[in-house]
Chain A
Amino acid sequence: MSNLFNIDIVNPEQSFLSKDNVFEVVIPAVEGEIGILKDHIPIISFLKPGIIKVFSETEEQSFYVEDGIVEFKDNTLSVLTSSIFDLKDADKNFVSESISSAEAELSKDNIDDQKRFLLNHKVEVLKSISIN
């Protein structure tokens, strides 16, 4: 029996990625990373800044996402996000710009803890991208 399922990543503007031969996806959910295999229980969650890893039969892909919603149902994983890019074509300038804008935001006083946490996390992830 095959252990493959479908993944759809969609932007508001277009469908970003659609595959039907993945066997594992790791998503950065708000409360920690979740690894999803076939026949996972239906789940809805949303994302924090991080890396989505898609393992398919033929290749392994990584994407950076900033936020979004994931839904897993009937062996289809839908990821709705407004900001995503493939790590392979990460734009160095864009990454460093995002880091500095996030850091600027962090230095403001009026942000709450949750936002601070998310921003810190975002900076961390972005930095790890720029090193690679």
Chain B
Amino acid sequence: MPSLDDLRKRITSVKSTQKITKAMKMVAAAKLRKAQENAEKGRPYSEKMNNVILNLSKSITDKENAPKLLVGTGEEKVHLCIVLTADRGLCGGFNTNIIKKSKSYFEKIISENKTLKIITVGSKGYDQLKRQYKSYIVENISFKESKNINYFDADKVGKIIIEKFEKNEFDVCAIFYNKFKNVITQIPQEQQIVPLNEDKDDKDETGNDNDYEFEPDEDEILSNLLPKNISTQIFKAMLENSASEQGSRMTAMDNATRNAGELVDRLTIEYNRSRQAAITKELIEIISGAESL
């Protein structure tokens, strides 16, 4: 049985933890709004980019000579995985979910006897993966210094990927990130960016009859466009990720605050009970002392 003093100390400490989690929740909520806005603003660019590429790839007839970034190297031996995580913790299952998703992919690659290369973006991912997959990690990038997500950073990652591709260092490239659905739900995503997957939901079949004029020719545009597309996809993933991170942190901190509240309630009841017990005990002692006189 803890003494009254111990209980009092515990209550104060839980209360101050609660204050911190509450503050973190508010900060996350404010940041979430901004991140969400940014994600929405960034959407038209990546959508349009996708459209253009879709239209272009449709009009390419000579599949054999098409740029390798689009159709792949023809092999599937070396897989490059870009794992995008946050730089900070305390955001619930956010980082763990991405890691879990990517780990299952890694296991598949390894069991198929293919070569695996990993680039981690964000320090949390690196921390969690280095224990098990240290030998596979080829690069570890972190944008801790940059306050906001910007295209410049995404472009840096994109350039690294392109450079590696040109050196024939990998055949297939996939990125892992959390897609923001709503504040409570974030879905870990696996997206293949090299070679470009013909999208599953090919909804705009109607656009087929558009005969585009290309200037210069398709190949040249494509080879100019595809590297940009990679940066764009990474940028999109980073935006989604940051919104997800804040959402996830908000939910986690909200839960923590609530749990702390419950704990405080429970401890207070226990404190009051033992205080009352002590008083009763003293009273009994006094009364029985008086009686015996």
Contact = CB atoms under 8 A, between A and B. Distances in A.
Interface stretch (B48-56, B66-74, B93-101): B48-56
B45 A80 contact: yes
B41 A15 contact: yes
A12 B41 CA distance: 8
B151 A14 contact: no
Contact of A29 (B155, B212, B215): B215
Interface residues of A, number: 23
Given A44-B55, A71-B51, A80-B52, A12 B42 contact: yes
Q: DSSP majority for the B interface?
A: helix
Nearest to A82: B151
B224 interface: yes
Contacts of A82: 151, 155, 228
Contacts of A43: 212-215
Interface of A: 8, 10-15, 29-31, 34, 41-46, 69, 71, 73, 78, 80, 82
Interface of B: 38, 41-42, 44-46, 48-49, 51-52, 55-56, 150-151, 154-155, 210-216, 221, 224-225, 228, 232, 235
24 contacts: A10-B45, A10-B48, A11-B45, A12-B42, A12-B45, A12-B151, A12-B232, A12-B235, A13-B45, A13-B150, A30-B216, A31-B215, A31-B216, A41-B211, A42-B210, A43-B213, A44-B212, A45-B216, A45-B221, A46-B225, A71-B48, A73-B210, A80-B45, A80-B48
